[in-house]
Structure 1
Amino acid sequence: MIHFEWPWLLLSLPLPLLIRWLLPTHAPAEQAALKVPFLEDFADAETRTVMPARRWPLLLAAIAWGLLVLAASRPQWLGEPIEQAVSGRDLMLAVDVSGSMEEQDFVIDKRMVDRLSATKQIAGEFIKRRAGDRVGLILFGTTPYLQTPLTFDRKTVATLLNEAFIGITDDEPATSIGDAIGLAVKHLQDKEADSRVLILLTDGANTAGQVSPLQAAELAAENHLKIYTIGIGADEMIVRSFFGSRRINPSRDLDERTLKAIAQKTGGRYFRARNTEELDKIYHLLDELEPVEKDKQYFRPRSELYPWPLALALLLAAILAASRSRWT
């Protein structure tokens, strides 16, 4: 259907007639100095030829004015209503990009990859599934950085996560979990949302920052921010060297006690991801714990139509200008 964004502008259609009616009639500036005695003989011929020829500019001007008023009222074509799901949830992801995330103890497509690459793939698919949520992204190492503010554009968030790399926030191999939570609280506390959720993924312990993780968790709880923590990294890995093979624990620095306490203080849960399959299951479980709500809202796409009458009005104006210059 056709919709006019500013229909009240259509009331200006009779404006030229009102101006002509209100303004006084313009008297001729001078009278003819020479009278032709037989001018009356050509009166009928002038009426038959000149007058009809001079009526079409007035008609074109009237049409151009009507088209101009029509364009000013912004006609739009409204498409069919499209249902959109809006959950009212603000969901922030905080991903560790410190040096320890370079550890290659995950397997994707039968090849060893580092922890950040596994996180990108699994968390990227999770982001794409969060239709209706406003999603944001925080990257943290020694200092936290807001990579993406809250937005409904999940594709952009997934793209920026995929472009993240080790040390993107700094060059030091430290982790500031508390500051990352504090940054999330800062960007979520003033938002009007039915639910605020932070998913924090790390493979280490808090070794930097100005705020301790538990202090930040208390602040998050006061602002009704629920935190789900994920400890990532394998429990053991075989390392081969010149002297033989030995087993090591690549997750020896993971502070599970603190991550569990953070989740408990805020009403969330702690998860342990030792491999790609467990990490994928965790994100599917998060889909169940924080389901996408299907509140029905409708959006009607709009296509602007005003360029068409505007272009026709300008074309008629150009024709009138060209004709006037020819007469003069």
Structure 2
Amino acid sequence: MQKKRILFLGETYRADAITWMNGLKEFGDFEIVSWELQTRSTGVSRLKRLVELAKSFLTIRSIAKKFNADMVIAERTTSYGFLAALSGIKPIAIAQQGITDLWPENSPLYPFKKIIQNYAFKKADLIHAWGPVMAEHMKKSDVNMSKVMILPKGINLSLFEYRDTTNEPKLRAIVTRSLLPEYKHEIILRAFSSLKKQKIPFELTIIGDGILFEKLKLLSKELNIENQVIFTGRINNNDLPKLLQQSNLYISMPTTEGVSASLFEAMACGSFPIVTDLPGNRSWINQKENGILVESENSKKLAEEIIWSFQNPEIRQKAVLENRKFIENNANYAVNMKKIADEYHKLINTKSN
């Protein structure tokens, strides 16, 4: 029997997209062809991206016809979701990546994004909310909630294995977010500078690459913590679990958050999470029970909570065990991607019949 074919519209370099596509191949036996916009949605490039989006309609239709796709899936509910709705392919599945996908809120393009998102919501046969916070936005947008699947893609538990590091004598913290302004690495560095002034020994590992790489390295020198901070740059995703397993604290301070695969990976590996107090994180973290929520852009408070967590290993030990169980029960990649793949097959079969 010929494999069912899916046209994937989205940025294939992103880890979330790779996880999604690989899961569909592995658990749904799908054949996938992908297409993505070439202009990144940053600064003045947003206008160029809009022009490219307008020109992409015929390209998508041509690819859809040539590939003879059985289904189209889109990584966002705005740009790619809009193109999926116009592709001529049915069924359509779209995924909301952020709390709203309508970002930044002060953008002059916001009203336009809202219009194309509503159109994509209306035309989609299945809408992915990777977490409850996304579903809340959909309800407020009057989405037909019978089309919404609330389920994270999950974490590969055979790769991200658990290790208890709560009895480690040294504070070993890890950050795994891209070195971009919205992830506020400078707040984290300033918090650890405060730790050094209090003569608290630590090792901070910052994983990833981005436009702030050199600036953050320079800041670590200015704060006199360069000998305690390791910048790994971009690493192979297969090397990430070992580094998480060696860390007793996971830290992430973004200004906005949807559903963070990075947080799930840390929870799976036994690294105690300290994250920004945002709706997306409150879906998974209960304050000082299985992690710590810190108000945004407050390096002093972050430093205090890092010290508190390290001085309370019994709380951390209970928390990391609960976190591993939670991930096993709710964010198991093998289980969740099988459910998603089965739903796609059901949609395709319904269309065929």
TM-score by length of 2: 0.31
Name the structure where helix makes up a greater proportion of residues. Answer: 2
Larger Rg over CA atoms: 1
Name the structure where strand makes up a greater proportion of residues. Answer: 1
